[in-house]
Structure 1
């Protein structure tokens, strides 16, 4: 029987060799060793071949490491990666084409066929974004001759076309920076600084916001080198298949891919302890939990359970100090809002008390069995009414248990104190009516979803203030966090289980490429929303009531609705928080 997998691998190797030889020939550097996108060849060979030509030409005429390092530094300040990459790709293409076409006339025909293929394959996708429309105009003017476009696009084209004459990598960088700051985010320089400021960003500053400050210098440089290499590969490709630029943007949307080696993995557990505090699970319990919960879309992921760096630190490091500062800011907002918070707690407490009193009321009924009523014995033999007895009917007194789960990803950074107050209001009200509840937060770093515990189900009311240790960082794998919270609820004996999720409706996690891993699909966009919605449905099918409390921006409301359906609350004004959430809890208690 023919081994088709072997034939396919042979075919892939042949394609890769062809593309690599083309890149080497163009660059004149046979030591050039860059990862090639072989899969794109099956989509359209001319796009793939032209990317290889550009890669070789850019290595020949310019400094690719200098450009990639600038992009890494620009990304550090929270710019939108897909948009920045689209700008960089156009600038690189404009800078190298005339030079390589003058040396190799056949390049013009390959570029023509690549551009025609892009029009066929990606016209709608490009037309959905501003930089996509700029790219469309570049393609049209190359195929049909240069003309004039609408003013905003023409302003960008005028700057792009100047790159045809440049021999300077720095001029390419200046052009990318000008287009982003002028056409995409005019507030960038005011918020962060100009190009000179971005370029002065040091390796040490990059490390402050990442895990590398706990690794040795050699390891940091190795990972940074891999990141620069990934950026360099993205800068070269004009293919739209992975370049998804958001139509409406508000803040950074990073979809990075982190490549790990064995040395980095060996240090991961130490890093997790240093940055998030020691885990309260033993190694055996941790592995058992991962085997049970980390499968399907979350294969190759892990859960990390901790009481937080302030409760169980390894040492007082920068992360500890930052967490303490945020806790102080949270408590400051609590003090400044104490009247509003108290009012919300009192309203929610009163509503819950009324519902619980109703559940414990008893009703007396006349019946033909039960406790005899002497005053009704005269009816015996005289009437057909046999109801000589009294029965006491007690209302359903089944128990309740609640889990409060807070999204602690970086996208919540601007709302940290507000989210902490929301969770505190619910926790205080539940404590007042003696409903057991646990408060957790979640974020995801690399393949670890960190579940931080602020109070346990049966903890005293005094534990509620630990909620103000809430701080945000990294990404969020909402589906796995909801799965883990549901698993904890299902282990409780109470019949009625409620899960309240405070989130912004934007599940988003980096892709982790680990040695020997199955390399899970990028957890973002529609894929992540569908997975999170599926975990919510699974929890409900197991008897858990799930409420989503929207703690995000209005443009993400549709995603929140897709995840939680009709059972979600949008809190426009924190002063009305108790009424909105309290009504949902009251409805469940009255059910």
Structure 2
């Protein structure tokens, strides 16, 4: 706490020194990833107060709050302010040029241009590259907007605000939602506006007001060309997550069903994690493929290091499932077809209960299928080996009981929820592929569960179960869009993400007849959210030694309930 207070004081001192006003109490301060006050950015904050009318700027920022893209627009404004403020201040403070270069290098070292689809990230990266005298390698639109943001140092506050309003009107008033979200596969939810802004010393300025109309039209067409963006994204997905196992028409048909409501503007991508050697790879995709191979090796090593315990868990769980199936195979249950129970006819007449027949469950073992879905978001990074092992134990136990099993993982990247299939129902010898499990990206649990339930909908079996291994913490950069009942968009996280996921879980049994069972794989502080999502159908395993016992008991109860 003392260290934090010291950094706050240091930030204030830098701002006061730059503003020459010790009464200035800035609401905005800049810190690096280690919580240290940033010298260059805090100086810019103070210098903006010194050279411009800060009260007018605060009024402009309040004006931006009315827009759903307000955070993006604030970042754009600070890029412009940093540029003209630096030009004003560099002659007074000669050290500022070196500070700016150092900060630019630090920023670029901490990001990956190959993973930056978000327009604001493209602009920022190009901005820092120019600050180092480098030629930016980005889209024409990002460069066009950046050129317009590189304001002249002789502009006053009113002129800056007026220019920003014109830029916003042209480029962002009708911009699609993907422009307002961050898709980097690490959490940037808490980033400040100063952790994302800068400009180039050797910049070129094209007059915004003199730009030809046809050039503006080209910018608009880029913004509106969603199909073009989707094709680019899918090409990236092929290189990063593996080739798609579904054709484009089939995917579009699925998206019309799945990507609606809270998941409007989202997409789904299905893969087996197999890479096409003919697809051109960049540095990030090559690195990711290497990470997948390394993680597979780690998953296998972790399993083999605990082989005796894991094998014992498989034997225990297998026996528990077999006992349930044996009891039910030798018994009968009420059903909607079979031999009529005369004494139960009244239930159909008065209780609308159509289960007035008796059905013999002998040889009914294959009337059950189980899907196992593994949360593969980056929040699971420190538990990858454990989750792979748990998924394998459940799948192997069910396989030994001759129960059809399908195993896949899910994560989200950019607008996409990626479903990575490890083994299908008839691939009884492919459980080892579960060790390909690797964590990356975010997680849109609601869409993933909706997709899983849809895939199970057409299964020709009477009983279905979906087992989800997750930390119960939905978190996606794609917002829940505004609608008639929801006038503003919401971040897909915290209560909104939990509520959406819980709703999809409830639909599982009510609309699709699928029992959804959650196996908690997160931190203790996230347990309440997981309980809200899965209710009584949540398994919490504190010790790996008791994995089979706890999962076995829950599976026994669920299987017995199915066959009542």
TM-score when scaled to structure 1?
A: 0.57
Shift of 1:199: 4.2
Match in the other structure for 2:137: 218
User: Which residue of 548, 555, 558 corresponds with 2:528?
Assistant: 558
* Structure 2 unaligned regions, length at least 5: 1-14, 20-27, 63-90, 123-134, 152-159, 165-185, 197-218, 333-338, 340-357, 482-486
SS where residue 434 of structure 1 aligns? coil
Q: Is the 8 A contact 1:274 1:313 kept in 2?
A: no
Separation in 1 of the partners of 2:466 and 2:327? 23
Q: Is the 8 A contact 1:300 1:447 kept in 2?
A: yes
With over 3 angstroms needed to count, the CA separation of the structure-2 counterparts of 1:583 and 1:223, relative to structure 1, is: farther
Match in the other structure for 1:437: 405
Match in the other structure for 1:484: 451
Match in the other structure for 1:241: none
With over 3 angstroms needed to count, the CA separation of the structure-2 counterparts of 1:446 and 1:252, relative to structure 1, is: closer
Shift of 1:93: 5.4
1:432-491 Cα distance to aligned partner (Å, 9 max, x none): 10111111111111111111100012212x200001111111111110000000111111
Q: Is the 8 A contact 2:411 2:419 kept in 1?
A: yes
User: Which residue of 506, 515, 518 corresponds with 2:473?
Assistant: 506
User: Which residue of 241, 249, 254 corresponds with 2:189?
Assistant: 254
Separation in 1 of the partners of 2:421 and 2:307? 24
Match in the other structure for 1:295: 260
With over 3 angstroms needed to count, the CA separation of the structure-2 counterparts of 1:362 and 1:584, relative to structure 1, is: closer
Match in the other structure for 2:557: 587
Separation in 2 of the partners of 1:544 and 1:513? 25
With over 3 angstroms needed to count, the CA separation of the structure-2 counterparts of 1:217 and 1:408, relative to structure 1, is: farther
Q: Is the 8 A contact 1:92 1:172 kept in 2?
A: no
SS where residue 572 of structure 1 aligns? coil
Match in the other structure for 2:240: 275
With over 3 angstroms needed to count, the CA separation of the structure-2 counterparts of 1:338 and 1:293, relative to structure 1, is: same
SS where residue 523 of structure 1 aligns? strand
User: Which residue of 292, 314, 320 corresponds with 1:323?
Assistant: 292
Match in the other structure for 2:327: 358
With over 3 angstroms needed to count, the CA separation of the structure-2 counterparts of 1:309 and 1:512, relative to structure 1, is: farther
Aligned residues: 398
User: Which residue of 316, 339, 342 corresponds with 1:347?
Assistant: 316
1:297-354 Cα distance to aligned partner (Å, 9 max, x none): 1111111010014599846733322211111111111121211211111110010011
Task: Give the stretch that moved more between structures: 518-527 or 546-555.
Answer: 518-527
Task: Give the stretch that moved more between structures: 568-577 or 252-261.
Answer: 252-261
Q: Tell me how large the CA RMSD over aligned residues is.
A: 5.0
1:194-241 Cα distance to aligned partner (Å, 9 max, x none): x9799445469623665799xx963269659989999x99xx9xxxxx
Larger Rg: 1
Match in the other structure for 1:416: 384
Separation in 1 of the partners of 2:49 and 2:434? 57
Match in the other structure for 1:64: none
Separation in 2 of the partners of 1:335 and 1:275? 28
1:48-74 Cα distance to aligned partner (Å, 9 max, x none): xxxxxx9xx99xxxxxxxx99x98xx5
User: Which residue of 520, 544, 557 corresponds with 1:574?
Assistant: 544
Residue 454 of structure 1 pairs with residue 360 of structure 2: no
Match in the other structure for 2:112: 206
Separation in 1 of the partners of 2:240 and 2:59? 51
Match in the other structure for 1:337: 306
SS where residue 457 of structure 1 aligns? coil
Separation in 2 of the partners of 1:421 and 1:357? 27
Separation in 2 of the partners of 1:315 and 1:492? 37
Residue 404 of structure 1 pairs with residue 310 of structure 2: no
Shift of 1:252: 4.6
Q: Is the 8 A contact 1:309 1:323 kept in 2?
A: no
Match in the other structure for 1:27: none
With over 3 angstroms needed to count, the CA separation of the structure-2 counterparts of 1:448 and 1:437, relative to structure 1, is: same
Separation in 2 of the partners of 1:491 and 1:326? 34
Separation in 2 of the partners of 1:98 and 1:499? 60
Q: Is the 8 A contact 1:511 1:520 kept in 2?
A: no
Separation in 2 of the partners of 1:564 and 1:95? 52
* Structure 1 unaligned regions, length at least 5: 1-53, 59-66, 118-165, 175-194, 237-250, 364-369, 371-391
Q: Is the 8 A contact 2:299 2:384 kept in 1?
A: yes
User: Which residue of 437, 456, 461 corresponds with 1:470?
Assistant: 437
Separation in 2 of the partners of 1:98 and 1:281? 58
Match in the other structure for 1:534: 503
With over 3 angstroms needed to count, the CA separation of the structure-2 counterparts of 1:284 and 1:99, relative to structure 1, is: closer
Q: Is the 8 A contact 1:211 1:271 kept in 2?
A: no
With over 3 angstroms needed to count, the CA separation of the structure-2 counterparts of 1:171 and 1:578, relative to structure 1, is: farther
1:391-450 Cα distance to aligned partner (Å, 9 max, x none): x98457462111111111111111111111111010000101011111111111111111
Separation in 1 of the partners of 2:531 and 2:377? 20
TM-score when scaled to structure 2?
A: 0.59
SS where residue 537 of structure 1 aligns? helix
SS where residue 522 of structure 1 aligns? strand
SS where residue 355 of structure 1 aligns? helix
